[in-house]
Amino acid sequence: MALVRVVLIDGKVIPDLKGGAAGRGAWLHKKCAEVAIARSAFRFAFKQDAAVDVSELLKFLQD
C-alpha cells in the first residue's frame, strides 16, 4: 500500500503527488484518509485552530 503526502496550503489539504510542495506535510495511506477526515485529524496534524478544507483530498480519493 502506497503512502500519499498531503500538505496544507491556504487552509486546504492538498495531495502532494510529486512530494515537493512546501510547508507542513503529513503522510498517510489512502484508505486511512477517510478515517482521518471523519475524525478531523488534519486539523490537529497541521496544528490549526479551526477545521481545514478537505475537498481537494476527497476529490483525489474518488479518482
Give the integer Cα–Cα distance in Å for 37 and 20: 23
Grid coordinates of 30: 489512502
pLDDT at 4 over 70: yes
Give the domain ranges of the chain.
3-62
- Which spans in the chain are helix H? 30-38, 41-45, 55-62
- Reported as a single tens digit per residue, the pLDDT across 30-63 is 889 989 999 999 999 899 999 999 999 999 998 7
Sign of CA dihedral 34, 38, 48, 9: positive
Q: What is the mean pLDDT of residues 14-38?
A: 88
In the predicted model, is pLDDT for residue 24 greater than 80? no
The terminus-to-terminus CA distance of the chain in angstroms comes to: 16
For residue 2, pLDDT over 90 is answered with no
What's this model's pTM, rounded to 2 decimal places? Answer: 0.84
